[in-house]
A and B are shown apart, each in its own frame.
Chain A
Amino acid sequence: MTAEYRFAVNVTPKPGILDPQGRAVEGSLDHLGIAGVSAVRVGRRVELSVAAADEAAARAVVERLAAELLSNPLIEAFGVELLQATSSTTSDARAGTAEAGAR
């Protein structure tokens, strides 16, 4: 029996990596009259579904995908977040916030 797991992978520039997009966002805050916002980092979020026997197997696939394709380990860090697990037989769904943001 397999289930379907919906994940989000959040990719962000590693600390110390130049992030001109983040800087540009910060630079625009003045125009909005917003003060006190700093350290803006712009990254990327990828959501995907994986069919697997259990959550650990699904997570292993996502971790590999995130490390080899979705992020460049030289310049980016990633975090994997479980959004939802759906059993294919019972169709019961649960929101998976408990294990979110492991990294």
Chain B
Amino acid sequence: MTVRIGVVVFPGSNCDRDTLHALDLAGAEPLELWHEQASLDGVAGVILPGGFAYGDYLRAGVIARFSPVMRSVAAFANDGGLVLGVCNGFQVLAEAGLVPGALLRNRGLRFLGRDIRIAVEQPDTPFTHLAGPRRPLRLPVAHGEGCFFADPATLDGLERDGQVLFRYVREDGTVAAETDDPANPNGSLRAIAGVRNAAGNVAGLMPHPERASEAVLGSDDGFGLIRSFVASAEAGARSDAGRGLEVIAR
């Protein structure tokens, strides 16, 4: 059985094709979900791809939040459905309040497009369980607003509850500093590159796993994350509506 995964397409999405391709490589049946449609067509998981949804007008991700498809994605997420937001998709999830925190303008003000390294902080989640041996993953970033922000109490809570999924690290695997460290491309607080919600079924990250899913792209370090998502969605579909994912993931 191939599992059906939806990739939301907003006006301005530009990583939707890459994501569909990576999902196809991972053995899923990828499906485009147009922003004006309210039906999720029975998918077992949803990925919000990178890009500039609605031109990133006002604030990155905010206009997309109010689209018909996002109302359905929010309901799907609140019902335990598996949702992953990459880059702009992460910004949309944050604006929608589906993952904690906010993404601010990069500390250095510049749009950055280059490879960075992240460490998988939580290897036993639906998003990371097939990420491979614990080593820094080399993935590209491409964003202008990726500086993860939350107040100190929220940050402490995220760390305590294992909601920090990814952190920017240096080549040797040590955690990047918040300021003046090229390993932390946007100045994210506590070098946080990706988080998940408290329930554990919604996650977002700034780097692009789908752009590092084949050796021909220069790195396939991201493919393990795509495969994790597909496997978890498949397991969730089998075990009815995505419950008990954590157990299956181990």
Chain A interface (Cβ < 8 Å from any Cβ of B):
17-18, 20-21, 24, 44, 69-70, 72, 74-75
Instruction: Report Cα–Cα, A70/B104, bound state, in Å.
Output: 15
A-B CB contact pairs (8 Å), 19 listed: A17-B104, A17-B149, A18-B104, A18-B107, A18-B147, A18-B149, A18-B187, A20-B106, A20-B108, A21-B105, A24-B109, A69-B58, A69-B62, A69-B66, A70-B58, A72-B95, A74-B149, A74-B151, A75-B149
Instruction: Report Cα–Cα, A70/B108, bound state, in Å.
Output: 24
Counting from the closest, the 8 A-B pairs by CB-CB distance are A74-B102, A75-B102, A20-B109, A20-B105, A20-B107, A72-B102, A24-B109, A18-B104
Instruction: Report Cα–Cα, A74/B59, bound state, in Å.
Output: 13
Give the interface SS of chain A, mostly helix, strand, loop or mixed. Answer: mixed
Contacts of A21 in B (CB 8 A): 105, 109
Instruction: Determine how close the nearest CB of chain A comes to the CB of B177; give it in whole angstroms.
Output: 15
Contacts of B187 in A (CB 8 A): 18
Instruction: Determine how close the nearest CB of chain A comes to the CB of B97; give it in whole angstroms.
Output: 9
Contacts of A69 in B (CB 8 A): 58, 62, 66
Interface string of B131-152 (1 = CB under 8 A from A): 0000000000000000101110
Known A17-B149, A20-B109; judge A75-B104 contact (CB<8 A).
Answer: yes
Contacts of A20 in B (CB 8 A): 104-109
Contacts of A70 in B (CB 8 A): 58
Q: Which of B53-82 contact A (CB under 8 A)?
A: 58-59, 62, 66
Instruction: Determine how close the nearest CB of chain B comes to the CB of A75; give it in whole angstroms.
Output: 5
Instruction: Among A24, A44, A70, A72, find the residue whose CB has the most chain B CB atoms closer than 10 A.
Output: A72
Instruction: Report Cα–Cα, A70/B109, bound state, in Å.
Output: 21
Query: Does B200 belong to the interface (CB within 8 Å)?
Result: no
Contacts of B66 in A (CB 8 A): 69
Query: Does B123 belong to the interface (CB within 8 Å)?
Result: no
A72 touches B109 (CB 8 A): no
Having A20-B104, A75-B149, one finds 20 other A-B pairs with CB under 8 Å, namely: A17-B104, A17-B149, A18-B104, A18-B107, A18-B147, A18-B187, A20-B106, A21-B105, A21-B109, A44-B58, A69-B58, A69-B62, A69-B66, A70-B58, A72-B59, A72-B62, A72-B95, A74-B101, A74-B102, A75-B104
